[in-house]
Amino acid sequence: MNKGWKEVNILLLAYLGDAVYELWVRKHLLEQGIAKVEEMHKRAIIYVRAKNQAGILRYLLEELDETEKDVVMRGRNAKAHHPRNIDVITYKHATAFEALVGYWYLTDKKQRMNTILNRIDSIMEQTDSVDTQ
């Protein structure tokens, strides 16, 4: 990467993180034995729903180092337009989660990313804000 990660627009970091997380989710579901596209799609929606991403981020906050917290703060404070079907705070936290995933990916912290993402199922079970509908 030519630029340092701090020079990358935080919304681009979140955009990249969104793609990386979506790919991780699909691979994760495939590893769980989901073999039909429709079923994978239905289950993937649960993982990528903004409300659930926001809940996961809130759960992880205490575990993050200072640099990761800085990424989260930048992602949360980014000026982005949010969909009408979700409140601003939830959308900002979901954007922050995606920015964090993008940061891990861009800075070759893939082991850290995978360590945390591999706990997503248990985190979602422990987080009361997770929406499975």
- What is the per-residue pLDDT across 68-98, written as a single tens digit (0 to 9) for each? 999 999 999 988 776 677 888 999 999 999 9
pLDDT at 1: 54
- What is the SS3 assignment for 82? coil
Domain that holds residue 39: 5-126
In this prediction, residue 132 has a pLDDT band, given cuts at 50, 70 and 90, of: low
Give the pLDDT band of residue 41 (cuts 50, 70, 90): very high
Q: Which member of 18, 65, 87, 131 is catalytic?
A: 18
- The verdict on residue 118 lying in a domain is yes
> What CATH number did the domain enclosing 73 receive?
1.10.1520.10
Domain-located, residue 87: yes
Q: Is the pTM higher than 0.85? A: yes
Answer yes or no: is 131 within a domain: no
pLDDT of residue 125: 76
Per the structure, how many domains does the chain have?
1
- Cβ partners under 8 Å of residue 101, min gap 6: 17, 18, 20, 21, 24, 113, 117
> By C-alpha distance, which of 53, 51, 5 is closest to 25?
53
Q: What is the mean pLDDT of the chain?
A: 89
Residue 87 a catalytic site member: no
Residues 95-121: tens digit of each pLDDT: 999 999 999 999 999 999 999 999 988
